Structures are given as C-alpha cells and as structure tokens.
Chain A
Amino acid sequence: MAKFLQLAASRAFTTSLQRLRNVFTVSDSETFMEKVLNNDVPVIVNFHAEWCDPCKLLTPKLEELVVPLPGIDLAIIDVESCPELVQAFEVKAVPAVIAVRSGLVVDKFIGLVDAQNIEDFIKKLSKQMQTNAT
C-alpha cells in the first residue's frame, strides 16, 4: 500500500512538472489561436468534460502518451468553459480528440477508444511530422 502511494505521488509530481512543458489547458479562443493553431509542433486537442466518465479515462491516457514525446503538445479543453470552440469544431459528444498541425485539422476521433488506437493516432501524427521534416 505504501509503495503504491509512493508511486502515485511520484507520478503525480512528474506529470505536474511535465504539464508545464507540453500539456496545457485552453479556455478561450485567443489562447487556442496562439497555442494550437499557431503552434510550431502538432497539437492533440482533447475536448473533455468533468461529468463525463469516459473522459476521465481518456484524458490521463492521452497525457501519459503525449508527455514523453518531444514534438507533440496536448491541449485540453473543458467543453463547459469554451462554447465557441465547441461550436466551431461541431463537438456533439465527448470525449472528442482532434489532431492539429500547422493550423490544419488532420485527424480526429470521438469517444473512448482503446490504448492501441490512441497510440496509432499519435504515431500517425508524429510520422506525418517526420515526413514533412525530410
């Protein structure tokens, strides 16, 4: 039990540190413009809600997978705080995830998908980035 607590505590600490690097929340269109559409690196945008159980499983999983990747950012948007963005991207159900690169939406999925699908989604985004770089 003690070991579990230790592990959980260290994990939370690491995540909160790394949060400063490539995981952030967006709560208005200006921030979205600046940190997502005008970002040099691709961004995975996660539309999330506090009352949504699948979101509570998906968001941490996305964080876990994106945090160690240097070239990808993760933007988390609470649908309650940003109706304009929700409307702009026609988000009708949560969780909804879109991939943005150089201001263009290049991929998306809706609902809680399994870990393999999330990994493939992220891999596809970083592969595209690599292809462009060469």
Chain B
Amino acid sequence: MSVLKICTKSFAASLGRQSERSLKKIYRISSSFRTFSTEGKLEYDLVVIGGGSGGLACAKEAVAQGARVAVLDYVQPSPRSTKWGLGGTCVNVGCIPKKLMHHASLLGEAIEDARSFGWRIPGNAEIDWLAMRDAVQDHIKSVNWVTRVSLRDNKIEYVNGRGHLADANTVVATLHNKKEVLLKTKNVVVAVGARPKYSTAIGAQELGISSDDIFSLEKPPGKTLVVGGGYIGLECAGFLNGFGYPSTVMLRSVPLRGFDQQMASMVVNEMEGRGVNFICKCVPESLSKTLDGRILVKWNTTPGASGGSGQGEDVFDTVLFAVGRKAVTDSLALDKAGVETHRETGKIFTTNEQTNVPNIFAVGDVLHRKPELTPVAVQAGRLLARRMFGNDKTLMDYDNVATTVFTPLEYGFVGLSEEESEKRHGPENLEVYHAFYKPTEFSIPQKDMSNCYIKVICLRKEPRTVLGMHFVGPNAGEVIQGFSAAMKCRITMEQLLDTIGIHPTVAEEFTRLTITKRSGMDPNPQACCS
C-alpha cells in the first residue's frame, strides 16, 4: 500500500508536464527510430559486437565512463530453428535456464524425501514438461525485456543485427530486412561468444539437438542420449534423468576432461547411482529415423581408444549433442582488420583482452584459453571499459575463479586440480587433505552419501598456501563461493583449519579436515560431532 502511495506521489508532482513531455517523447523516439533503420554513418567511441554477459557489462561500464556506445546483438537460429532474445547464452540457453531446470529436477527429489520427514503426500510427483518449460521461458523473456530497458536507460544504442568488420574502425550491422547500418567507431569489442558444435556422425545435424534447443523443447524429451561428457552434457543428463526421462551419456574419452578426475569420477558415480547410463569411450557413427518417428543411433569405439563399452546401437526419442562449443568468429570478417584467431577453434588471441590490432578487443567465451564463465566475461568486460575510458589500470585476474558443475550432486571448486597441482609443483611438494562426509539431512531419507567428498590441496612448504579446494555435495556453488574470496587472499592451510565451522552444515567440513592422502588413513567419517 505504501509503495503505491509513493509511486503516485512522485508522479503527481509533474502530472501536466509529464504528459506533454510524453507526447514530445513519442514523436522524437518514433522519428529517431525511423532514421536509424536506414543507411546511416554514425560516430561511436565503442561498438560492442555481442549482447551477452561480457558485451553488456563492457558497454554499460563504458557509458558510465562517458563513452558513446552501441551494442550489436543477433542470434543465428540453431539447426532446429531455435532463436532467442537479447542477453546472450547465459540468460537464454545457458546458466539461467540450466539452473532453473536443475532446481526443478531436485524439487522432484525433495518431494519424495519429504515423506520420510513425515509429510503426507498423495500420489506420485510427475513433471509436466511444458508447464516447467513455460515457467522457465517466461522468466527468460522477462530478463530479455529488463536487459533491453536497461540498455535504453543507459543510453546505449542497441542494434539487432549481425555484425562484421569492414575495417578496424567500421562495423557493419546487417538487420533482419537485409538493410545494412554502418557504424564508425574508435574501438571495437568482440564479445560474440560461442555456439554448440555437432558431431560428424551421419544425421547429427538433421536429427540431433543441442543445448540451444533443450531449454525450449516443444515436447517432452523422453528417452534421451546425451553425446558429450563435459559439464553441459552431464548437467543436462542429470536434470533430464531427475525429471524421469531415461538418460544415457556417451563419452568419447573421460568425463569433465581438464577437471580434477577424482572429483569427476565421484560426479559420474553419483549419476550412475541415480540411473543414468554411461557409454564409455565411444562416438556415435550414425543417426537415422525409425518408422515410429524415433531416432536409431549406432556407435562404435572411439578411434585409437581401448576398452570402453564397445560397438552398439539403441533407439532414443531425443539425441542431444554437447560435444564442445565453437567461437562465432567466422562471419565477423576479422581478417578485414587483420585480427588473429586460432585456426581450429576460431577463438581470438589476446593480451589483457587486446587483440593484435590496437583498437580491437575481445571478452568472454570468444577468448583463447580463458575460462568460459559469465562472471569472468562480466568482470573482464567491466575492467576493460575502465582501462579504455577511465583512469583505472586494473588488469583482469583469471586465476582462482570458482565454478560449479550443477549435476544432481553438485561439484564446486576453486583453484587447481590435483593433476595441475602435481604438474606445477611436483607431488612431493603437495599435501592433499581429504574426507568423505555425511550431510545431516541425508540420513532420514536414507540418501546415498558415498560420493559426498571434499579435498584441499596445499603446498607442503610454509606458509602452506592452499592451491585448490574441491567439494562434491549439495549446494556446492553456495559452499565454494566464500572460499574463493579466501583463496584470493592466499589463505593458508593453518588459517583454514583455524576457522571454526557452522554446525550443522556441509561447508564446515572444510574446517574439520585432518586426514591427508599421504597418511593412508581412512577418510571416512567416524562420528558426527567429535
């Protein structure tokens, strides 16, 4: 009630003038819209190609520093014709819908667990795919809209067109109606991100889908094959399985390649325990349509690999390819300005986000050898804009970036994997503390705790700096976030063990570590509070 009063009060103050201004505004805006859509050459301090996490953060900060900025955003439809609005991968086909579907999936599990706590729940909980999908898509659309409003509020010119370079100071935007807008600019930031790759199997593009499509799929996915063992593949298989759709993951080599492999195996064990089927060391050879409209997939052992599940075939309702993402740099005509990119991945080589061309920069997933994460793109974009238009000289620190894999039992970590720690320092210079633990809330519903495990890697030499912290368990993202701040402060093992935990939580297990791998002692928990 008081909020309503405030709204009308501040509004009443300028009633007459407001409507006059509104009238004039409508005319002015409509007319500016019209001239903009014809061929015009305009001067900018910065044109950002790509309206995703990195691009928008950079643009907003640049405007805050006084620059004149335009943002181009365009979504090339997926092979399945899926499109989406402003905001980039994270908002539309990445982090946001993924987390919502992961959460929706866990809620189904929670409903069942609730019975053991005394809740009387009639019948069995079943997911209504369309209702869930619509709820997720409605949220995404509201974010698209707020993003657009925010660009307008920040006085950033937004062009819904496909950008490419005519030269180092000219960006050409091709609109839907094929009209071209030329934007003359002092600087360019490329933030076009990446899109899913498809496997080379016959029929992959025609019959398969990708993460571009799953979050808006028009009918329930049914029995699904996920090709790819990276985090996208595992997360998708995880929530689909949680919804009750029989899921299979096909791994070409190992799960979560590049991540700590011991932790990756915990994640996979957990998924297997929940009914996800894993086909190891295999690649799909062909996809074909069956008479009843399903998909027959034939696979074989990965060339050069030994062991694994071996040759096979099966019928699925949906095949989702999560075999990697390719930077969207092919159509940018970067060669017109002489920007160097990686021959295979298409990613851009940068030093402090600057390409080999002094006035052309890049942020986000399009960067060569940098973490493909929204907060990384956002921070890099922001700092870059400050360096370009403000007085700040702060460089982006890509180290010790925390991240979480949102599989049914989540895996969160910050810092180095055990493999990387050994590579950099040698195993004799490391101490690895580890423990299995039992979340209090898991006992009553008798949930499987065998994969609830944590690990901390530190240097043996004083001051025993912590190199990596790894956690598999519920709410891993929430657990690890605070520790990444500690890592930024170069926390030592002594400081960590000196920290008093909050009880009962799972995060406190980091403060209770006593057993090292070197000691050979049993890392399984003895009792609760001792």
Interface residues of A (CB under 8 A from B): 29, 32-33, 37, 49-53, 79-80, 83-89, 91-92, 94, 100, 103-111, 113, 117
Contacts and interface: CB of A to CB of B under 8 A. Distances in A.
Q: On chain B, which size bracket covers the interface? A: 20 to 34
A86 B153 CA distance: 12
Contacts of B141: 49-51
A107 B9 CA distance: 9
B25 A107 contact: no
Contact of A49 (B1, B16, B142): B142
A32 B19 contact: no
B124 interface: no
Given A50-B141, A104-B19, A105-B22, A84 B29 contact: yes
B8 A88 contact: no
B15 interface: yes
B138 A32 contact: no
B19 A110 contact: no
Contacts of A33: 26
Interface in B3-22: 3-4, 7-8, 11, 15-16, 18-19, 22
Q: Determine which residue in A37, A49, A88, A89 has the highest number of CB atoms from chain B within 10 A of its CB, and name it.
A: A88
Interface in B301-359: none
A14 B494 CA distance: 75
A106 B8 CA distance: 9
22 contacts: A29-B26, A29-B30, A33-B26, A49-B142, A50-B138, A51-B137, A51-B138, A53-B138, A87-B152, A88-B26, A91-B149, A92-B149, A94-B145, A105-B18, A105-B19, A106-B15, A107-B8, A108-B11, A109-B4, A109-B7, A110-B7, A117-B1
B142 A52 contact: yes
Nearest to B5: A109
B121 interface: no
A110 B3 CA distance: 9
B25 A88 contact: yes
Contacts of B27: 29
Given A106-B15, A108-B11, A111-B3, A80 B145 contact: yes
B68 interface: no
B289 interface: no
Contact of A84 (B3, B26, B142): B26
Nearest to A110: B7
B30 A108 contact: no
B148 interface: yes
A38 to B, nearest CB: 11
A113 B25 CA distance: 28
Given A51-B138, A85-B26, A109 B15 contact: no
